Amino acid sequence: MTSNKSAPGTKPQTELQTRSVLPGFIVFEGLDGAGTTTQARLFVERLRAGGAAVVATAEPTDGPIGRRIRAVLSGAEQASDRTMAYLFAADRSEHLDDPNHGVLAELHRGRYVVCDRYLFSSLAYQGSLCGFEFVRMLNAPFSLPEHLVFLDLQSKAGLERIKARGRSEIYETPHIQDTVYHGYRQALEQFRDSTMQIHHIDGSAAPEAIAEEVWSRIAIAPIH
């Protein structure tokens, strides 16, 4: 655990600013309909085309805890907002630490790991629904990615894209999406001075234009 104490005369650093960063770990975040899945996929394809070894992954995962979360998101099962915060954190812990295919193991093998959503989703969604401080504490043990891509799309535009898909989940209402948007702004502000690189990108452009912008922002040198 990193010490929070500062040398005399220096500005005190918060725990969010001193958290460790995982080189080669790249995360896409945004509201529902903002395009995180599409952009993560396009980024992975471009990395692979350049010959890099890349693992594409997502949260919630497709493991047992992730499947339970999906059941609640679809409305088939029930859980309180606090329980969801615990479930997302437990799923994240498994996702990072699984000795075979966990994020840490894959990074250790010298692969890039590109992830569709991570702890910033918990801060934005569960933070808005059951208290930012509670969710921040639950997620305090998790390291930060090297790059965080935030696809900035307001809730109305995101919900219109979702409608076209024809299925909906419990967080996909205008009120929740508006609150979550502010949750993301609050979360990003908290990490402004961290060593993680934050790329704040307009999510309303065409997918190809966004992909180009993401690529130009993240200067990737092979890590193996």
Query: Among all residues, whose Cβ is closest to ligand TMP?
Result: 125
Per CB under 6 A, the segment of 1-9, 117-125, 142-150, 215-223 that binds ligand TMP is 117-125
CB of 73 to ligand TMP, least distance (A): 5
Helix (H, G, I), strand (E, B) or coil at 25: strand
The answer to whether the beta carbons of residues 180 and 171 sit under 8 Å apart is yes
**171 lies in the binding site for ligand TMP (CB under 6 A):** yes
CB of 171 to ligand TMP, least distance (A): 4
Of the candidates 189, 177, 157, 150, the residue with the CA atom closest to the CA atom of residue 40: 150
Interface stretch with ligand TMP, choices 45-53, 121-129, 153-161, 205-213 (CB under 6 A): 121-129
SS (H, E, C) 88-157: HHHHHHHHHHCCCCCHHHHHHCCCEEEEECCHHHHHHHHHHHHCHHHHHHHCCCCCEEEEEEEEECCHHH
Residue 60: asked if its preceding bond is cis (omega within 30°), the reply is yes
169 binds ligand TMP, rule: CB under 6 A: yes
Out of 22, 26, 27, 32, which residue is the one contacting ligand TMP (CB under 6 A)?
Answer: 32
Work out whether 106 is an interface residue with ligand TMP (CB under 6 A): no
- Of 28, 125, 181, 191, which one interacts with ligand TMP (CB under 6 A)? 125
Would you state the structure tokens that stand for residue 181, as one six-digit string? 């948007």
Residue 128 lies near ligand TMP (rule: CB under 6 A):
no
**Judged by CB under 6 A, does residue 122 bind ligand TMP?**
yes
Query: Quick one: how far is CA 195 from the chain centroid?
Result: 16
Q: Which is nearer to ligand TMP, 40 or 107 (CB)?
A: 40
Does residue number 155 form part of the binding site for ligand TMP (CB under 6 A)? no
In the block, residue with structure tokens 């770990």: 25
